[in-house]
Amino acid sequence: VAGGAANNEGESAAAAADADRNDEEEEDAWTFDPERGNVVFASALHGWGFTVPALARSLCKNGVMPFKPPLLRRYLFGDFRYNPDTGKILKWKRGGGGVPAFAEFALRPLWEVYEGVAEAAAAVGLTDYGNNNGAAAAPH
């Protein structure tokens, strides 16, 4: 009987460990993480969208950064920056110079497109260029 009780305790501990592992796997599956590609940065209004893995593939394909996409996507969203002089990805520190890689390679190009559209719209006298709420564009 004593051996049976010890066996039941061992089985209970194993079952608890399996339940914990299953909970961790389920939580991991529902955790949003740009590096894993389960976050989409998008504008439905303007018809664009991308994931960090897609951005990594594009940067690699176009020769912007000399890293393979699986490696690059680990460093695009976070406190990292690319140093083109050394060809290395470095830890980004506030006040240390440069901007994070995501700001440089994702946000800056988007901002430049929006700025170009705003300037072109202003050049032809448009002040509301696609805002669905009717708000006028901010002066530049």
Divide the 140 residues of the chain into consecutive groups of 10 and give the mean pLDDT of each group.
60 71 80 88 93 95 93 93 93 89 95 92 78 50
pLDDT of res. 108: 96
User: Does residue 13 sit in the same domain as residue 42?
Assistant: no
User: Does residue 89 sit in the same domain as residue 55?
Assistant: yes
pLDDT of res. 30: 84
pLDDT of res. 98: 86
pTM of the model: 0.68
User: Does residue 17 sit in the same domain as residue 6?
Assistant: yes
Supply the range of the domain harboring residue 42. 34-140
Alpha helices in 30-98 (DSSP H): 52-61, 69-76
Domains in the chain, number: 2
Structure tokens at 48: 């664009």
Q: Tell me the angle at which helices 52-61 and 69-76 cross, rounded to the nearest 10 degrees.
A: 130
